[in-house]
């Protein structure tokens, strides 16, 4: 595929993401229905569904032969070398509470790997797009990852999956270890925005587990276009369907982050949850 063809598909991603974001703007600050999808904190709103409908309509009109994997409605079309991955509202909990970190994310996989994508953050009025070999941009201006090479000086970002209440491998231990070794750890609540912020140098690295392809496709492509590094927890190739990802601004920071992740053991069940033990007081007399 030529660069011209890739750039044309990137423009489609931008238009589709903007179509979804326009629906989010329509609902933002107004009344909408919030429902639970099953797990605690896993929400869906009218805005999710309206945004997905708008994104899919754009993709079907402009690229009818490319299949789509969408968060709310699943897989559409026949399998092929290309696959659109759509998260119509990444950060639904944020959106439902009026917190501004949410986005529409549209990424394109090529032979199973993130290739290009667009992320629109409507409340913050920012649009990110880019891809492998295409560079990365924010509102038309080129962006690149930071130059931080020291874990101690870095600011990282992460998140916690909806199943964190059900398993010990829930990122709590990793969060604690990094928090004691870095300049700061943030939790944004929307993977697409987190990845976009690494791509533009606002943050230096990102790790998380329990993710889906639609959470990652656009953001990973954006980081690669901005000169960053993306891998699995052990430093190997990232599996977009594997749920775990490490993203860093450069190889040096990636190696330091990998070393922490590979040596972290999950917390014990009594490390959190439940009611605290009653305070002991000295017996009188």
Please provide the DSSP assignment of 221-253 as one string: HHHHHTT-EEE-TTSS---TTTS-EEEESSHHH
Based on the fold, state whether residues 80 and 160 are members of the same structural domain: no
Number of domains observed in the structure of the chain: 2
Count of CB atoms within 10 A of residue 147's CB?
12
Residues 31 and 118 in one domain: yes
Phi, psi angle pair for 79, to nearest 5°: -70, 145
Range of the domain at 202: 151-264
- What percent of the chain lies above the pLDDT cut of 70? 93
Do residues 130 and 157 share a domain?
A: no
Is residue 275 included in any domain, yes or no? Answer: no
pLDDT digit string, tens, across residues 157-213: 999 987 777 777 899 999 999 999 999 999 999 999 999 999 999 999 999 999 999
CATH number at residue 206: 3.40.190.80
- Model pTM above 0.85: yes
Residue 272 lies in a domain: no
In the predicted structure, residue 93 carries a pLDDT above the cut 90: yes
* CATH code for the domain of 68: 3.30.540.10
Whether residues 78 and 106 fall in one domain: yes
Q: How far apart are CA 121 and CA 24, in angstroms?
A: 10
Task: Please give the Cα distance from 103 to 190 (Å, whole number).
Answer: 7
Q: Residue 6 and residue 135: Cα distance in Å, rounded?
A: 12
Task: Give the model's pLDDT for residue 279.
Answer: 43
Cβ distance 105 to 71 under 8 Å?
no
| pLDDT of 166 | 75
Domain-located, residue 285: no
46, 162: one domain: no
Q: Assess whether 163 and 207 both reside in one domain.
A: yes
- Tell me the mean pLDDT in the region 227-242: 95
Whether residue 121 is predicted with pLDDT greater than 80 in this model: the reply is yes
Q: Which residue has the tokens 């998380």?
A: 208
Dump pLDDT digits (tens) for 50-70. 999 999 999 999 999 999 999
Instruction: Examine the domain organization and report whether 232 and 214 are in the same domain.
Output: yes
Alpha-carbon gap, residue 133 to 15, rounded angstroms: 20
Cα–Cα distance measured from residue 219 to residue 222, given in angstroms and rounded to the nearest whole number:
5
Check whether residue 155 and residue 101 sit in a common domain: no
Average pLDDT of the chain, as a whole number: 92
What is the C-alpha separation between 131 and 104, in angstroms, rounded?
17
User: Which range is least confidently modeled, 56-70, 142-156, 270-284?
Assistant: 270-284
Distance CA 109, CA 83 (A): 5
Please report whether residue 168 resides in a domain: yes
Residue 281 lies in a domain: no
- The answer to whether residues 259 and 176 belong to one domain is yes
Please name the residue that has the structure tokens 């954006």.
Answer: 222
DSSP-derived 3-state class of residue 212:
coil
Same domain membership, residue 52 and residue 168: no
- pLDDT score, position 283: 41
Confidence of residue 28 (pLDDT cuts 50, 70, 90): very high
Residue 249 has pLDDT above 80, yes or no: yes
């Amino acid at each position: 595929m030529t660069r011209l063809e890739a750039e044309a598909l990137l423009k489609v991603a931008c238009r589709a993401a903007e179509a979804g974001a326009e629906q989010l703007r329509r609902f933002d600050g107004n009344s909408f229905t919030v429902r639970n999808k099953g797990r605690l904190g896993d929400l869906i709103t009218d805005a999710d569904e309206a945004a997905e409908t708008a994104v899919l309509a754009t993709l079907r009109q402009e690229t009818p032969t490319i299949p789509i994997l969408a968060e709310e409605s699943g897989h559409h079309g026949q399998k092929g070398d290309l696959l659109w991955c759509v998260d119509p509202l990444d950060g639904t909990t944020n959106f439902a509470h009026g917190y501004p970190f949410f986005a529409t994310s549209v990424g394109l996989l090529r032979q199973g790997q993130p290739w290009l994508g667009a992320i629109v953050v409507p409340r913050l009025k920012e649009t990110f797009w880019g891809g492998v070999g295409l560079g990365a941009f924010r509102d038309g201006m080129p962006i690149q990852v930071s130059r931080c090479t020291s874990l101690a000086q870095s600011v990282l970002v992460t998140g916690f999956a909806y199943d964190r209440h059900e398993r010990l491998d829930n990122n709590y231990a990793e969060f604690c270890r990094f928090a004691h070794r870095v300049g700061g750890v943030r939790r944004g609540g929307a993977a697409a925005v987190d990845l976009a912020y690494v791509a533009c140098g606002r943050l230096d690295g990102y790790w998380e587990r329990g993710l889906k392809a639609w959470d990652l496709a656009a953001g990973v492509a954006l980081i690669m276009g901005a000169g960053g590094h993306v891998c699995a927890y052990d430093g190997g190739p990232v599996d977009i369907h594997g749920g775990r990802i490490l993203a860093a601004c450069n190889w040096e920071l990636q190696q330091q982050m990998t070393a922490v992740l590979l040596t972290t053991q999950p917390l014990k069940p009594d490390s959190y949850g439940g009611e605290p033990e009653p305070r002991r007081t000295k017996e009188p007399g």
